[in-house]
Structure 1
């Protein structure tokens, strides 16, 4: 699954930034990009340290809080990241990226139904959000594999028919696994793991 690492691409024109209707000013774009660079380079502790005063100064700024969630994810603080993104989707239900990253966290915890609902919320917020559709497809594959495996367990006589389907789905899941850690994947260009859109594989 793809993780998104910021709410907008630093390469986007100012008019596009304003169209996101964020409460923060585009004047902070360089500051956001600097913290994002720390996160992508694996310096999550330093990023979190720098984010703390920024969030205290602008607690309603969704970009700082989003970056905090990404840094928490990359630092392995899954519970904290989940809480950060859950609060963001409550405060800013119009932003699809927090839903996407929340879905990545749910999927990592094998909460596939919750991941599916979060991604459906993401595409409702932005019907053109390709990353969420891709991640939703990954979730559906995993849900299908689980359903067929359950069917095979409940009806052993059907295993010969079900096993090829299960094997095919498992192969798809295996092929979808990332080759590199999320923080090391370079940015995409357009906003939507999950995650910029810079995004990254889970």
Structure 2
């Protein structure tokens, strides 16, 4: 599954933020790049500190809150990352990326129903968000693999079930295991 690390699309509630960023100059844009660079270089703790410093001055900035959540995920601070993305979802429900990232964490914990619900919300928020659609397909495959395995246990004589399970495992070699909660190295 993929954790999105790209900028948010332009939504009505974020237009004022974009105008503010332009008016503030390139200094703020450098902060996003700096935090993103720290995350990519494996310095999640430094990225969190930098994001916290930025958010002390601009506490309602959704993009920096998002980057902080990604850094928390990278740092293995899962409970805090869940709290960060959940708060971002509550404050900006029209943004699909935090739902996607929350789903990746849930999938990594084998909480596939929660992951599915988060991804379905991401897709409703932005029907053209391809990463969420792909991740939703992965979650459905994981759920299908679990159900086929359960069916195989209940009815070992059913010859169709092992074939279906084998096909899913060939498509998704780790279909029965949780997806890693680490972000992709490139934004999609």
RMSD between aligned residues: 2.4
Cα distance in 2 for partners of 1:104, 1:162 equals: 28
Structure 1 residue 152 and structure 2 residue 152: aligned? yes
Residue of structure 2 equivalent to 1:169: 168
Report the TM-score, using the length of structure 1 for normalisation: 0.80
In structure 2, the gaps of 5 or more residues are 23-27
Structure 1 consecutive aligned stretches of length 4 or more whose deviation exceeds 6 Å: none
Q: Secondary structure at the match of 2:3?
A: strand
Say if 1:130 and 1:183 are closer, same or farther in 2 by CA, change over 3 A.
closer
Residue of structure 2 equivalent to 1:110: 110
The 8 Å contact of residues 73 and 81 in structure 1, kept in 2 or not, is answered as: yes
Deviations 1:29-72 (A, max 9, x none): 22211211110111111111111121222221111110110001
Count of paired positions: 178
Cα distance in 2 for partners of 1:118, 1:150 equals: 24
Compute the displacement of 1:185 (Å).
Answer: 1.7
The 8 Å contact of residues 4 and 101 in structure 2, kept in 1 or not, is answered as: yes
The 8 Å contact of residues 119 and 133 in structure 2, kept in 1 or not, is answered as: yes
The 8 Å contact of residues 47 and 71 in structure 1, kept in 2 or not, is answered as: yes
The 8 Å contact of residues 4 and 184 in structure 2, kept in 1 or not, is answered as: no
